[in-house]
Amino acid sequence: MAVELIERILAAGGRSAQEVEVYLVEGTGVSAELKREAVATATGSREWGLSIRIIDRGRIGTSATSSPAKWEECLAAALSSMSLTTPQEWRGLPDPADLRRSAPSYDERVVPEPSAAQGFLGGMLEGARKHPESKITSGSGSLARSEVTIANSHGVHYTALRTEVSCSLETICGQSTGSEFAHSPFLEIDPLWVGERAAFFAEHSSKGQPMETGPFDILLSPVALAQLLGNILVPALSGRTVHAGRSRLAPLLGQKCMDGRIDLCDDPFARGMGATAWDAEGVPASRLDFVKAGVLSSFAYDLKTAYRYGAKPTGSAVRGGFSGGPAIGVHNLVLDGPREEIGSERALYVHDVVGAHTANPVSGDFSVECQNPIWVEGGGFQDPVRKAMLSGNLFDALRGIGGIGAGARIVGNSILPCVRFKGMQVIG
Amino acid sequence: MSLPGIRFSDVRCVRATSTHIDIDNGVVESAGTSFSDTALVRVLGPRGWGMISVNNLDPSSKKEMDRILAEGLALAGITEDPVNLAEPGRGEHKVPSPKEDPLSLSLEEKTRVLSGIEKAAKIPGIVSTRATYIERSEGVFYTDSSGYENRFTITRSGFSVLAVARRNGDAQMGRESRHTIHGFNLRHQEPMGVKAGETALALLDAGAAKGGRMRAVLDPELAGVFAHEAVGHASEGDLVKEGSSVLAGRIGEQIGPGILTIVDDPSLPEFGFEPVDAEGCRTARTEVVSRGRVNAYLHTRETLAALGNGDSGHGRAEGGEPPLVRMSNTFIEEGDSTLEEIFSECRDGILLVGSRGGQVDPGRGVFQFNAEYGYLIEEGERARMVRDVSLSGEILSTLHGILLCGKEREMHQGFCGKGGQSVPVSDGSPHILLSDAVVGGSGAD
């Protein structure tokens, strides 16, 4: 039925515009929620979404609908949208490519059954029991699978299966909170570990002591780092932001912009949440090196931005669901470099941050409240800190880091290690 | 609408039409309309909830509903938490008629007017401008197993304008936005574009603030965010019930000065207005903090039954998502101080202006939010401008530190995220003076 509908839309759209693109998502999911230690809610979901894009003489129109029966209305809306947009240089939607490499986005073992979600909750409860002073406030476990199709009037018709599993737990001990999560396209998350960590952080931080204000070395966990990179650095790497004059990295192409130990890339073939063999416009996806040994080597482009500014498309279009049109983003942002022991000398470990979305994406300045700040020394956790506010500028901080720790974990659309930063301002 | 074993069920269908326009440096990047039709069916089984989220539900189809109810009941079978529901208060407020209905205007006209605001931001020295328009018209239908039904349509719309100034590698931004339920609000708003441009330029000359503990004056916009982040979230009944709120068990306790009253009122015709809540409950004013004492929590029917102390009518949901306890229009009531008295009492400190948003950990009782900019206050007078200033603190100690509340309240609009759902809200306050605020900033002096 999906193939038939897509063909019908491509044919109808082709009568009014030079090019047509159809993006279709169908998915099912199940989740279960904990309130304190009891399962309170179980939810099943079925999603269907269609997005149409049509292009004629450099004008691009978009619309979306969640109703198969309304595809004609959706196409009409895309056409009237097209008439309003400013025409631009346009060199066409992609032609079909020989996609030899498949991306690791699907695990056939992931079946959205309530019992599986229930199993995640049970695992987290068991893990949390290792720190009995912590109480569980809420948690969730979920499994989903979807089929995503992109097709266009040039003959592109790619379909990918995607799966996603996740679990998360929130805990409290006195007035100290803890949280942990895991997500993956594969049935490879460890609910026991999630439960144990969430409970550990609440329990350990409950004995937090005040700290002095001043500059300190900081160990940002992958979760804390992902928050800052996602809110400040990723927008600055977008070709659109760069050409619009809103990126601090714009004048630095080919120059050193970060510590020489840092490699930063978007790897759509990495085992992460954004794994895909083609981007949201049907452009074959490939590894994109943003920063190599500290030197800024490229920005991210979708078709529209690349054509407008004479740049090479980088297959960096992503969609935040079916209803939004394609926009520049990252599939799997990977930070890498020489690994070393970064916790032997005293530093403040930050598990997560509160308020990263309030950072200034243009200047890179941020000021965030630390979650579970803990002193580390000799490679392990030492005394917890009661309250710490971290201020700084991310672009400046990345120019001279203190080292990259071992390992990496999936946090949203990134795969990150723990990174040590030198002398950042902390208000105790 | 029932099967054996179902204690209660409800259906909420949301049919929405969303329009957006994005103008970036004079180029109409995108402009268009999308459609969605989503529904959530909730089934309360012997213990907890089973829920089904689907597209394009026909609630009048008995066959389809019976199948979904059976599916919901099966899901509810894995739950353990005994859920009970308080009796709902019924009644609906009329959705205010728009002064100029956005749905009656063509996309061309909206684009033309938005373009004027974007152009106005491009004053000399500004290198980048962007303006966006969003409009969402929702037709909501709700019914439950008691036979109750309601339906209404509401359209929310508004704009934001951004300007970026650059000098010697330093880039700063100014941003203004206005959203409303009262109709198309873009006409004659070019001064908002100019203001965004002027703010960005002024920030190029502003220094970084030196962080630390100090006296702080919060302007009405930031003080509104303070009410929302620091108190509003912690008063949400679901968080209180889970044990993740510092306000749990504090009904009647004095947590702030006698001048402090904090209200959430979804019946107020502001951006967070709800004619009826997402469980079909009447919406009304709730005084969360009354003259400094914790007075009530915000509730859905479930959290009211579990906790008492407050009203239901605070359940809000996106289409296809479950009702969560949410704020709507949240504000600090007017006090009795003039602005001059507030500055004079502050003497040496900082004035924080505007908001880039905030976040709270209600269990830990710690909040953080960022001002758009600030001014030092020296000897009771407004002195030089500073940038990238934030405020963080512990809810309970900060509330006790409110020294003065101004006389004039203003409301500002925004969106609030919780549990993966975003809902329109407004926050407001008069100017307030805090005695011992933790101000963040990377400046050395």
Which chain B residues have a beta carbon less than 8 Å from that of A60?
30
Q: Domain limits of chain B?
A: 8-205, 208-442
Tell me what pLDDT residue A4 has: 94
Q: How far apart are CA A179 and CA A58, in angstroms?
A: 48
For residue A156, the 8-state DSSP code is: -
Cα three-residue angle B380-A392-A179, rounded to 5 degrees: 105
* Best CA proximity match to A367, nearest among A375, A357, A376, A352: A357
User: Is pLDDT at A218 greater than 70 in this prediction?
Assistant: yes
User: Is pLDDT at A306 greater than 90 in this prediction?
Assistant: yes
Tell me what pLDDT residue A100 has: 84
DSSP string for B187-246: TT-HHHHHHHHHHHHHHHTPEEPEEEEEEEEEPHHHHHHHIIIIIIGGGBHHHHHHT--T
Tell me what pLDDT residue B1 has: 61
Cβ B358 vs Cβ B367: under 8 Å: yes
Where b means 16+ CB within 10 Å and e means fewer, A83-100 reads ebbbebebeebbeeeeee
Q: How far apart are CA A92 and CA A362, in angstroms?
A: 31
Distance (Å) from the alpha carbon of B290 to chain A's nearest alpha carbon? 24
Q: How far apart are CA B245 and CA B335, in angstroms?
A: 27
The answer to which of A38-42, A150-154, B241-245 has the lowest mean pLDDT is: B241-245
Q: How far apart are CA A401 and CA A398, in angstroms?
A: 6
- Give the pLDDT band (50/70/90) at residue A333: very high
Best mutation target among B14, B19, B23, B29 (most A Cβ atoms within 10 Å) is B29
User: Is pLDDT at A180 greater than 90 in this prediction?
Assistant: yes
Q: Which residue of A has its CA nearest to B320?
A: A45
Three-state DSSP class for residue A425: strand
Asked if the Cβ–Cβ distance from A137 to B364 is below 8 Å, we say no
Tell me what pLDDT residue B183 has: 98
- Centre a 10 Å sphere on the Cβ of residue B73 and count the other Cβ atoms it contains: 20
Tell me what pLDDT residue B368 has: 86
Residue of A43, A323, A393 with shortest CB distance to B34:
A323
Share of chain A above pLDDT 70, in %: 100
**What residues contact residue B369 under an 8 Å CB cut-off, 6+ apart?**
A355, A358, B222, B225, B226, B229, B355, B356, B357, B358, B359, B390, B391, B392
Q: How far apart are CA A137 and CA A119, in angstroms?
A: 18
Three-state DSSP class for residue A10: helix
* Helix intervals (H) in B264-394: 301-307, 339-346
**Residue A36 backbone zone (phi > 0: left; psi -120 to 50: alpha; other: beta):** left
User: Is pLDDT at A292 greater than 60 in this prediction?
Assistant: yes
Which residue in the block uniquely carries the two structure tokens 């306050």? Answer: B429
Tell me what pLDDT residue B171 has: 86
DSSP string for A311-365: PPP-S-EE-SSSSSPPEE--SSEEEE--B---SSS-EEEESEEE-GGGS-TTT-E
Give the domain A2-202 fold: PmbA/TldD fold (3.30.2290)
For residue B84, the 8-state DSSP code is: -
Residue of B75, B81, B366 with shortest CB distance to A387:
B366
A50's enclosing H/E stretch is strand A38-56
DSSP string for A56-120: ETTEEEEEEES-GGGHHHHHHHHHHHHHHSPP-----SPPP----PPPS---TT----HHHHHHH
Can you list the residues of chain B whose pLDDT is less than 50? 445
Distance (Å) from the alpha carbon of B336 to chain A's nearest alpha carbon? 31
Ramachandran angles phi, psi of A4, nearest 5°: -60, -45
Q: How far apart are CA B404 and CA A401, in angstroms?
A: 44
Q: Which residue of B has its CA nearest to A139?
A: B242
The alpha carbon torsion through B14, B16, B22, B28 (nearest 10 deg) reads 160
Q: How far apart are CA B172 and CA A361, in angstroms?
A: 9
Q: Please give the residue that has the higher pLDDT: either B352 or A325.
A: B352
**In which residue ranges of chain A is CATH 3.30.2290.10 found?**
2-202
Burial label for B445, CB within 10 Å (0-12, 13-18, 19+), is: exposed
DSSP string for B94-136: PPPPPSS-GGGS-HHHHHHHHHHHHHHH--TTEEEEEEEEEEE
- Centre a 10 Å sphere on the Cβ of residue B253 and count the other Cβ atoms it contains: 11
Q: How far apart are CA A401 and CA A412, in angstroms?
A: 23
Tell me what pLDDT residue A321 has: 77
Q: Tokens at residue B434, please? A: 């805090």
Best mutation target among B52, B204, B392 (most A Cβ atoms within 10 Å) is B392
Three-state DSSP class for residue A265: strand
- Give the pLDDT band (50/70/90) at residue A322: confident
pLDDT tens for each residue of A237-258:
999 999 998 999 999 999 999 9
Give the domain B8-205 fold: PmbA/TldD fold (3.30.2290)
Q: How far apart are CA B83 and CA B428, in angstroms?
A: 34
Residue of B111, B368, B394 with shortest CB distance to A355:
B368
Q: How far apart are CA B12 and CA B78, in angstroms?
A: 23
The alpha carbon torsion through B195, B201, B205, B207 (nearest 10 deg) reads 60
Q: Tokens at residue B13, please? A: 């269908």
User: Is pLDDT at A412 greater than 80 in this prediction?
Assistant: yes
Q: What type of residue sits at position A364?
A: G
Tell me what pLDDT residue B388 has: 83
The answer to which of A96-110, A125-139, A197-211, A313-327 has the lowest mean pLDDT is: A313-327
> Residues of A numbered 360-399 whose beta carbons fall under 8 angstroms of chain B's beta carbons: which are they?
360, 362-363, 365-369, 371, 387, 389, 391-393
Q: How far apart are CA A284 and CA B203, in angstroms?
A: 42
Average pLDDT, stretch A110-136?
97
Q: What type of residue sits at position A166?
A: S
